[in-house]
Structure 1
Amino acid sequence: MNCKNCDTELHSKFCPDCGNPSNLKRIDGHYIIHEIEHVLHFERGILYTIKELVLNPGQNIRNYLSENRSRLVKPIIFIILTSLIYSFTINIFHIEKQYIQFDGSGTDLSTSKKILVWVQGHYGYANIIIGILIAFYTKMFFKKYKYNFFEILIVMCFVLGISMLIYSFFALAEGITHFEISQIGGIMGVIYSTWAIGQFFGKGKLLNYVKALFAYILGLITFTILVVIIDVY
């Protein structure tokens, strides 16, 4: 009998090369529950990742890049999942004041307006695009630290993911209390992002936080400019 994944000859329950089981169990209710528990597991799941990124984002992201990549949720999955949580929260409570806001109720929409409507419905992908732009400026401002662009992009995925959870928390609070506090969440998201990026490059230097704030703001401005350029041309 050979492994169905890598075709190595099998003499046990697991492949000695790739670790794939010789016989996969059928997918049933127990399997689904186990997968959900695995994602939410506090040791190496979404809850653990959130805790570590809230308490000490700089050190934990550095550890992810250079030492251990199994302790935190994968960054792309993390930002998409947290963006889905935000989208679910604002939709279930019908929160209108989103952190990227546009009323797309009209039928005659320009290209830029259509893009903004798309952003409101696809925060996960939009955050990756915005993260790329912020990473570009971060790389430019912190070039002496020798991190490559893709490593900084990983930082942005984790940082923007927590920002989305901050937006979600304030949107949830607004939905329950009916006090308009979602905009406070937007401010807190910027503060967290500035703090986390600055801490990643060295929490003892005030200049790092200033450069992090400028990189964040320039990334958002560039995204807006690109939307306008696409509309014009």
Structure 2
Amino acid sequence: MNCKNCNAEVNSRFCPDCGQPTSLKRIDGHYILHEIEHVLHFERGILYTIRELVVNPGQNIRNYFSENRSRLIKPIIFIIITSLIYSLITSFFHIEEGYVKFEGEEIKSTTPVRIFKWIQAHYGYANIIIGLFITLWLKLFFRNSSYNMFELLILLCFVMGVGMLIFALFSLLQGLTKINLMSIGGIVGVGYCSWAIGNFFGKEKIFNYIKAFFAYILGFATFTFTAILLGFLIDAVVKH
């Protein structure tokens, strides 16, 4: 028979070219439990990834680039899952302001408001876009490093993913205690991101942490400014 995935000839249970099984098991309760177990497994799962990124983010991410890409969960999936966890907690406890309050009296145009509402409703995708802006500043501040833009973006997916979990934790505590803790969570989250990025570029140099902090802040500010400017430009084009 031929493989249903790559059409190669198959004489065993698995395709010799792509590894696809010749027959797939029916999806049942055992399959669902196995998938959940696979994601949460402490080895090569999200819990293991979180632990490694909290304990030694720089070394583990460098290892992901150059040695082993199976130990940590995929970075894009990681930031989307962690952003979803944050969104679910803030939605459950009706914490409207989020870790950054985008809407306000200073934004009068309808389109910028809609843009920021989309961001608040899609943190997973928005964080990847924000990461692109932070990446530009990291490339500028650490221009002597050998890492390219794509590697820096993957770095930010890991780091910002843990940052989202920190925001989620403080959201949970705020929801349970009714005490406003989001501002503290924001400080801790930004502090972790700055520390983790600096640790990645070299934990011995204090200046790396300073550059990481300003790259993060400037990247976030540049993203916010660009989103507002885009909204005003769209409104101007529509009106004319």
Structure 1 stretches (4+) deviating beyond 3 angstroms? none
Q: Deviations over 1:113-150 (max 9, x none)?
A: 11111111110111011101001100111111110000
Q: Which residue of 2 aligns with 1:25?
A: 25
Q: Which residue of 1 aligns with 2:77?
A: 77
CA distance in 2, matches of 1:120, 1:19: 40
Q: Give the match's secondary structure for 1:111.
A: helix
CA distance in 2, matches of 1:103, 1:199: 33
CA distance in 2, matches of 1:103, 1:136: 25
CA distance in 2, matches of 1:228, 1:25: 50
CA distance in 1, matches of 2:126, 2:103: 17
Identity %: 63
Q: Deviations over 1:4-61 (max 9, x none)?
A: 1112212211111111111111111111111111111110111000000011100000
The answer on whether the counterparts of 1:53 and 1:158 sit within 8 Å (CA) in structure 2 is yes
Q: Which residue of 2 aligns with 1:198?
A: 198
CA distance in 2, matches of 1:32, 1:228: 42
Give, in angstroms, the shift of residue 95 of structure 1.
Answer: 1.2
The 10-residue stretch of structure 1 (167-176 or 1-10) with the greater mean CA deviation from structure 2:
1-10
CA distance in 1, matches of 2:2, 2:186: 54
Q: Which residue of 1 aligns with 2:58?
A: 58
CA distance in 1, matches of 2:222, 2:6: 45
CA distance in 2, matches of 1:20, 1:2: 11
For structure 2, the 5+ residue unaligned runs are 234-240
For structure 1, the 5+ residue unaligned runs are none
Matches within 5 A, 1:9-24: 9-24=9-24
Q: Which residue of 2 aligns with 1:142?
A: 142
Give, in angstroms, the shift of residue 224 of structure 1.
Answer: 1.4
When the two structures are superposed, what TM-score results if normalisation uses the length of structure 2?
A: 0.93
CA distance in 1, matches of 2:66, 2:153: 15
The answer on whether the counterparts of 2:109 and 2:232 sit within 8 Å (CA) in structure 1 is no
The answer on whether the counterparts of 1:101 and 1:120 sit within 8 Å (CA) in structure 2 is no
Give, in angstroms, the shift of residue 100 of structure 1.
Answer: 2.3
Is 1:219 equivalent to 2:219 in the alignment? yes
AA aligned to 1:212 is: A
Q: Which residue of 2 aligns with 1:165?
A: 165
The answer on whether the counterparts of 2:103 and 2:116 sit within 8 Å (CA) in structure 1 is no
When the two structures are superposed, what TM-score results if normalisation uses the length of structure 1?
A: 0.96
